[in-house]
Amino acid sequence: MTGDKRWVVGVTDHMMGPPVLEAQVLGEAVEVDFFDTRREEDFDPARLARLDALLVWGAPVTRRSVPHLTRCKGVVRFGVGYDKIDVAALAEAGIPFANNPDYGTEEVADHAVALILSLQRRLWEHDHRARSHTTTWQTNTLSPLLRSAKATVGVVGVGRIGTAVVNRLKPFGHRILGFDPHQPAGHEKAVGYARVRRLEDLLGQADIVTFHCPLDSTTRGLLSAERLERFKPGAILVNTARGELLDGLDGLEAALRSGRLAAAGLDVLPSEPPAPHPLLDAWRERADWLAGRLVVTPHNAFHSDAAAIEMRTNAAETVRLLLEEGHLRNRILE
């Protein structure tokens, strides 16, 4: 530290360039040390030992780094999910951890609903096939085509984002089912959905299933090939939560080829950037059997210009409050 700097805050990595905004929020009393790497093995132990707090974007923080955080008062993730953070190791070292849940809710909910409605209306299939229509035009209507008021949407995970999805869908007239064992009794009455006690019951009834649950030991690989076969025939799957909910892509490819799934909209994939796979090859090539039935966006459902500023500001503000007041908001207890 130099001059009148009282604290050092590390930033592991950033998708939006150097942490200039974060430095402004943290204030003049903080020196910001930008590691600029997602590779934990590249973290310099001497630099880690200087930190009073650590902000994390996409890099893992595990038992490899934690022992070197000898003066760290807290670790804060820019995002919501924290499956790359060893919270138990931090707790053992007496270092509290917090995520950043109060940003991007609107964006992810909007993204999920956009996928739901566009796949329900088969917009991408119509767009693909309309390219070859010549002598006929309006008669080229795909069927079946669901009316919203006749369709059932199953929401898996009815927390902040799942609730926002429910609220956006209600005006369209969908019947809405929700599965979330972590929500208290009566949550469904306050929000306005029908609670389902077993995931399999929801899958068997829903024409569209959208996932908004966290990634943990109970949800990793939740969407196995066997479970995909329990979806209602011709259902639509939407995942804007975590790619690792899918137990690889083989089962998804089989479900799309067989017609068990009519379509899938994915903002997240089991590995990112995606590893080679026949399903993704067919998607990239616009193979006729798949065209318009698989929509993939590059894990950016959370993003808008406003959300990016909100995310960065909130995370830095969490660290500032920790350093100045000794209080860590949004703390995760393991």
Can you give the pLDDT at residue 277?
Answer: 97
Task: State which fold the 105-296 domain adopts.
Answer: Rossmann fold (3.40.50)
The ranges assigned to domains in the chain are 7-103+305-332, 105-296
Give catalytic status of residue 126 as yes or no: no
Q: Which of 243, 163, 234 is nearest to 204 (CA)?
A: 234
Residue 308 pLDDT > 70: yes
Per the CB < 8 A criterion, the answer to whether 136 and 115 are in contact is no
Give the burial string for 143-156 (b: 16+ CB within 10 Å, else e). Answer: eeebebeebbbbbb
Residue 190: which pLDDT band, with cuts at 50, 70 and 90? Answer: very high
Helix (H/G/I), strand (E/B), else coil: 75: strand
Of 92, 200, 272, 334, which one is the catalytic site residue?
Answer: 272
Q: Please, what is the average pLDDT of the chain?
A: 95
Of 128, 129, 299, 329, which one is the catalytic site residue?
Answer: 299
Give catalytic status of residue 299 as yes or no: yes
pLDDT (tens digit per residue) in 114-173: 999 999 999 999 999 999 998 889 889 999 999 999 999 999 999 999 999 999 999 999
Of 242, 303, 312, 320, which one is the catalytic site residue?
Answer: 242
Task: State which fold the 7-103+305-332 domain adopts.
Answer: Rossmann fold (3.40.50)
pLDDT (tens digit per residue) in 72-101: 999 999 998 898 999 999 999 999 999 999
Helix (H/G/I), strand (E/B), else coil: 281: helix
Dihedral angle over CA of 86, 92, 95, 99, nearest 10: 30
Give catalytic status of residue 272 as yes or no: yes
Predicted TM-score (pTM) of this structure: 0.90
Residue 30: which pLDDT band, with cuts at 50, 70 and 90? Answer: very high
